[in-house]
Structure 1
Amino acid sequence: MNLLLAEVARATQRLADAGVPSPRFDAEELAAHVHGVRRGELHTVADRDFDGRFWEAVARRAAREPLQHITGRAFFRYLELRVGPGVFVPRPETESVVEWALEAVRAMDVAEPLVVDLCTGSGAIALSIAQEVPRSRVHAVELDPAALEYAMRNVAGSRVELHHGDALTALPELNGQVDLVVSNPPYIPLEEWEHVAPEARDHDPELALFSGQDGLDTIRGIERTAFRLLRPGGIVVVEHADTQGGQVPWIFNEEAGWQDAVDHRDLNNRPRFTSARKAPL
């Protein structure tokens, strides 16, 4: 075993002792980042090239600073995104939301589907749809100026049109025209602050995490925005906490003009997002 692999093994134990959920993966990612190689190439780093900054990175991760803040990047589907302090780090569970949204868009009989991503953060959802549905027209909305800076860097050169604004009042010029509204909004109840993982609680912006006493304030607002933006028959899909699976579909109820409101489960079989269709005229 070369020196770097031996140090990765030691770092794995240190991260495990610190309560990091994926210690081996994180240790390898940090080693690869510091040494400028891929995880599968760690064995190629000669002992003389070992960089002591690896242990500085490990110490930061052991203090529960997000891995993505240390490396400056996050992987999401087929994307590598720039992230850091001030922007929500996209999570794997949101990939299930995007997968469902992509299938919904592809099933529409629309040559150039119009899509709006509310609370875009890093731009992960908007960029994924723009990349994987080549003829789509994608708008992304973000309120937080710090997050907007990251989104601007990530969407640069893409077809995504980025807007600085409030998701609850955004894009009135698109009223009644949008085929799909998608969002990963803040949805954590304020009373659950102390139970949130330190990587999120201490590093993700509060604006991207918490939304009222029951966590549903922003989703309630997005319901009204989505209804305003969507054409008749258009679809909304919104991520939520797995504990909110019985509540969110009721927000998109028939009395409010919706049809087919239903929850969907992620790869771990937990209720993770709700979709609904705006009722035809």
Structure 2
Amino acid sequence: MTGPPAAQGRSRGTEQEQPGRGASPHPGSTDPLSPVRHAADLTPLGAWLAAATDRLRAAGVASPRADAEQLAAFVLAVPRGRLALLDDVTAAAARRLDDLVARRAQRVPLQHLTGVAGFRHLDLTVGPGVFIPRPETESVVEWALTELTGSAGARRPGPLCVDLCAGSGAIALSLAAELPGATVHAVEVDPAAVVWLRRNIAGTGFPVTAHAADIAAALPESLTRLAGTVDLIISNPPYLPDADRHTVEPEVGEHDPARALWGGPDGLDVVRTVVGVAARLLRPGGLLVIEHADGHGVSAPELLRADGRWSHVADYRDLAGRDRFVAGRRGASREPRS
């Protein structure tokens, strides 16, 4: 999704007061901060933000002011931090903003309205059909990166990494961006999500290989040939228990793909599949990292320990103090415990 035309806001001060900010002395300037506007065509930005915030708050949006500001920054094609430099917006911009706020009040995700989701150092293209990456997953990636770059077992040049249940490619692309020389594979089953995955790989230019594959079925040859050689398997699989279907926020339940959310009665059905695939692909000592629901802080590590093919199993919390992911290293045993 692209931003709207510029020339939709008026900056505080005059051209003389704001040198170097790109203001134009010519009427009809297309600079978003141009002071040249007719008052009759303008809406005070501060008043619009206040009204939009109230509307979003009444609709139950969790961060109404932040969302209003991000929508304004998107429509005006300026960084959010520069909104303070604007006094007014054009009538056309105000109409578009009102439309976006109305949709946000209907609990359409902010990222679907702007077409972008930020994740670590990346701006990813997202929309209907793909899971929107969450901030808490960033801490999972951070931990895995630290393990790979700081542990003797993974200091070999160019680690081989596989992201299972890759969705938009947030994890895989972060690994490729932040691990120079890494070979990264991203595996996704949902055809709609694969479209977004490939779009983000092409858009960022990072060397990630996409696989459209169902890890619960027979793995394709492109993955089986990696057996016993992978340094890192990382996954943010569907992990919400089915019983939570009526408790999630509308942005999640109505807009994230169901296939990316629900993990069976206990939320661990896909996690079990990931564990089995990881045991097949990882080299001895290779690292497995799986994100899980905050209610899985005991059951997820127990699952790995009971499997019998994992050492150094531990569970870790995110920055909010919630149980967030389990990790372990591939042991010597080739078969799971019966």
| TM-score (norm: length of structure 1) | 0.96
Please state if 1:173 is matched with 2:216. Answer: no
Please state if 1:98 is matched with 2:144. Answer: no
Instruction: Give the CA deviation at 1:255.
Output: 4.7
In the other structure, the counterpart of 1:83 is 126
Secondary structure in structure 1 of the residue aligned to 2:225: helix
Q: Matches of 2:70 and 2:117 in 1, distance apart?
A: 11
Q: Matches of 2:147 and 2:160 in 1, distance apart?
A: 12
**Which deviations, in whole Å up to 9, do the C-alpha atoms of 1:205-252 show, x marking residues without a partner?**
000000111110000010000000000000100000001111000111
The one of 88, 91, 114 equivalent to 1:47 is 88
Residue pairs, 1:105-120, within 5 angstroms? 105-107=148-150, 108-120=154-166
Secondary structure in structure 2 of the residue aligned to 1:174: coil
In the other structure, the counterpart of 1:128 is 174
Please state if 1:5 is matched with 2:46. Answer: yes
In the other structure, the counterpart of 2:76 is 35
Q: Which runs of 5+ in 2 are unaligned?
A: 1-11, 13-42, 334-338
Which structure has greater helix proportion? 1
Rg bigger for which structure? 2
In the other structure, the counterpart of 1:219 is 271
Secondary structure in structure 2 of the residue aligned to 1:187: coil
Instruction: Give the CA deviation at 1:44.
Output: 3.7
- 8 Å CA contact 2:184–2:208 kept in 1: the answer is yes
In the other structure, the counterpart of 1:275 is 327
Indicate the structure whose relative CO is greater, using CA pairs within 8 Å and at least 6 residues apart. Answer: 1
- 8 Å CA contact 1:242–1:272 kept in 2: the answer is yes
Q: Matches of 2:100 and 2:240 in 1, distance apart?
A: 29
Runs of 4+ in structure 1 over 3 Å off: 43-46
| TM-score (norm: length of structure 2) | 0.81
**Which deviations, in whole Å up to 9, do the C-alpha atoms of 1:101-120 show, x marking residues without a partner?**
11111122211100000000
CA pair 178-13 structure 1, distance change in 2 beyond 3 A: same
Residue pairs, 1:136-147, within 5 angstroms? 136-147=182-193
Q: Which amino acid aligns with 2:199?
A: R
Q: Which runs of 5+ in 1 are unaligned?
A: none
Q: Matches of 1:48 and 1:184 in 2, distance apart?
A: 41
Give the CA RMSD over aligned residues.
1.4
In the other structure, the counterpart of 1:23 is 64
Please state if 1:63 is matched with 2:111. Answer: no
Q: Matches of 1:229 and 1:61 in 2, distance apart?
A: 42
Secondary structure in structure 1 of the residue aligned to 2:326: strand
In the other structure, the counterpart of 2:314 is 262
The one of 197, 203, 210 equivalent to 1:162 is 210
Q: Percent identity?
A: 52
Q: Matches of 1:48 and 1:143 in 2, distance apart?
A: 44
